[in-house]
Structure 1
Amino acid sequence: MKIINSKTAFCKLRLIVSALLFCAGYSYGQPSLPPRFIEVNAIQNLNFGSFVLTGSAGGSVLLGYNGIRSSTGSIALLGNDSQPAIFEVKLLQGRNVKIDFTGTYTLTGSNGGSLVLTIDTTEKGNTGTFFPTDNNRAFTTNLSVGGKLDIPGNSIPGTYIGTFNITFNQE
């Protein structure tokens, strides 16, 4: 009959458990992969701000993609509440994106009437332009868009709203 020393068996068991715990490490997850397909979000609306028609000739309000506003004809600009539209494009770094947009859109007034909005350029260029996405950790590229608002001399005062379309294609 063989006698087993219980202290020796316990020490061996403790040594094995300690070795296993020592080898067990923490597992860290990797960050999520960037989007493989293009994702676009409007993060700021196009706003031409406040203005007033000072004569019967009409005119235009121009708002650049950089936020600079000016007017032509008998239009007086009021305040400084204008802003370009900004779109956030999410896509892998260095991928090419093509932007397409048609020229004119109709805005409807709160008291009747309509105005013509023209989208003619963005900070990346005109319609049909390709641009590479930015190399940043967030995988986002912002695109600012301005436009021109044509105001006829017989325009009705009010708030004018509408939509415009820009197509973003991943190339």
Structure 2
Amino acid sequence: MNELIKTYQSKMEKTVSVLSEEYASIRAGRANPAVLDKVMVDYYGTPTPIQSMAAVSVSEARILVIQPWDKSTLGPIQKAIQASDIGINPQNDGTVIRIVFPQLTEERRKEICKSVRKQAEESKVAIRSIRRDANEKLKAMKKSSEITEDDQKQLEKEVQDLTDKYCKNIDDTAAKKEKEILEI
């Protein structure tokens, strides 16, 4: 019985971790190497993440520096960043690439916050979907006499408690990200 609950708990944890990864890649006016996580560079015909080809560091609050281990990859890295949806033009000085993050306008901050709330709501919908799947599984187990009605009620309560816990976790994560965006 606990195995069943653990299965659904791990699905809920995965949903929250995916949301956290998405939040990490949101450009919030500060230099954050995570914005490059989804950028792939065509390296000898193979899509390769920038972090595998170069040292990525934050030199100042709003400047990200990319120093490739192989200087011949400067061009392809710059092209990959320009082609991505980051929306910032990288500057190549022949040895490193600098990405300067502009200050966010108030309007842009509000747009980003709206996106953060939307992603949080989508994650909560996913959590509730996991709860529904768990409850359907418990009803099927009760119907096939694998568990008693009391067990079903107890397990449904545990699933609901997990749902509440992870939805609150999502709300807290979203509030923290919104605060970070608005304070920059």
TM-score (norm 2): 0.19
TM-score (norm 1): 0.20
Structure with greater strand percent: 1
Query: Which has the greater radius of gyration?
Result: 1
